Amino acid sequence: MSGIYIHIPFCKQACHYCDFHFSTSLKKKTELVEALCRELVLRKSEIKGTIETIYFGGGTPSLLTREELAQIFKTIYEHYTVAKPVEITLEANPDDLTEEKIKQLADSPINRLSIGIQSFFEEDLKLMNRAHNAKEAEDCLNLAMSYFNNISLDLIYGIPEMSIERWQQNIHKALSFGIPHISSYALTVEPKTALENFIKKGIVQPIDEEIAELHFHTLIDTLTRKGFVHYELSNFGKEGFFSKNNTAYWQGKPYLGIGPSAHSFDGKTRSWNVRNNTLYIKYIEKNELPSETETLSTTDRYNEYIMTGLRTMWGVSVKRVEEEFGTKYKEYLLQQAQKHLEEHLLYLDGDILLVTKKGKFLSDGISSDLFLLNL
pLDDT of 1 > 80? The answer is: no
pLDDT of the residue at 255: 96
The verdict on residue 128 lying in a domain is yes
Mean pLDDT value across the chain: 95
Q: Percent of the chain having pLDDT more than 90?
A: 93
CATH of the domain at 303: 1.10.10.920
pLDDT of 222 > 90? The answer is: yes
- Sequence-distant (6+) residues with CB within 8 A of 221 are none
Task: Concatenate the DSSP letters of all residues of 72-128 into one string.
Answer: HHHHHHHHS-EEEEEEEEEEE-GGG--HHHHHHHHHSS--EEEEEEE-SSHHHHHHH
pLDDT of 244 > 70? The answer is: yes
Do 160 and 243 lie in one domain? The reply is yes
Domain boundary among 212, 232, 250: 250
Cα 368 from Cα 28, distance rounded (Å): 40
Do 149 and 232 lie in one domain? The reply is yes
Domain containing 15 equals 2-250
Please compute the mean of the pLDDT values over residues 232-241 and round it to a whole number.
97
Exposure of 9 by Cβ count < 10 A (0-12 exposed, 13-18 middle, 19+ buried)? buried
pLDDT of 271 > 90? The answer is: yes
The verdict on residue 262 lying in a domain is no
pLDDT of the residue at 22: 85
Please compute the mean of the pLDDT values over residues 154-163 and round it to a whole number.
96
pLDDT of the residue at 340: 98
Do 232 and 306 lie in one domain? The reply is no
Do 173 and 48 lie in one domain? The reply is yes
* Per-residue confidence band for 373, with pLDDT thresholds at 50, 70 and 90: confident
- Sequence-distant (6+) residues with CB within 8 A of 96 are 60, 62, 63
pLDDT in tens, 358-368: 999 999 999 99
93 near 132, Cβ under 8 Å? yes
The total number of structural domains in the chain stands at 2
pLDDT in tens, 112-121: 999 999 999 9
The verdict on residue 275 lying in a domain is no
pLDDT in tens, 40-61: 999 999 988 899 999 999 999 9
Do 107 and 15 lie in one domain? The reply is yes
* Per-residue confidence band for 20, with pLDDT thresholds at 50, 70 and 90: confident
Query: What is the CB neighbour count within 10 angstroms for residue 151?
Result: 22
pLDDT of the residue at 216: 97
Do 22 and 93 lie in one domain? The reply is yes
The verdict on residue 147 lying in a domain is yes
Please compute the mean of the pLDDT values over residues 160-171 and round it to a whole number.
96
Cα 223 from Cα 43, distance rounded (Å): 40
Cα 174 from Cα 59, distance rounded (Å): 23
Cα 359 from Cα 26, distance rounded (Å): 43
CATH of the domain at 113: 3.80.30.20
Q: Percent of the chain having pLDDT more than 70?
A: 99
The verdict on residue 290 lying in a domain is no
Do 210 and 341 lie in one domain? The reply is no
pLDDT of 232 > 70? The answer is: yes
pLDDT in tens, 124-150: 999 999 999 999 999 999 999 999 999
The verdict on residue 269 lying in a domain is no
Domain boundary among 190, 221, 250: 250
Do 109 and 196 lie in one domain? The reply is yes
* Per-residue confidence band for 350, with pLDDT thresholds at 50, 70 and 90: very high
Do 25 and 171 lie in one domain? The reply is yes
Do 184 and 302 lie in one domain? The reply is no
Q: Worst-scoring range by mean pLDDT, 99-103, 251-255, 259-263?
A: 251-255
Do 205 and 63 lie in one domain? The reply is yes
The verdict on residue 258 lying in a domain is no
Please compute the mean of the pLDDT values over residues 68-97 and round it to a whole number.
97
Cα 157 from Cα 88, distance rounded (Å): 27
The verdict on residue 266 lying in a domain is no
Do 240 and 313 lie in one domain? The reply is no
Q: Are strands 352-355 and 316-317 parallel, antiparallel or unpaired?
A: antiparallel
* Per-residue confidence band for 19, with pLDDT thresholds at 50, 70 and 90: confident
Q: Is the dihedral of CA 361, 241, 224, 121 positive or negative?
A: positive
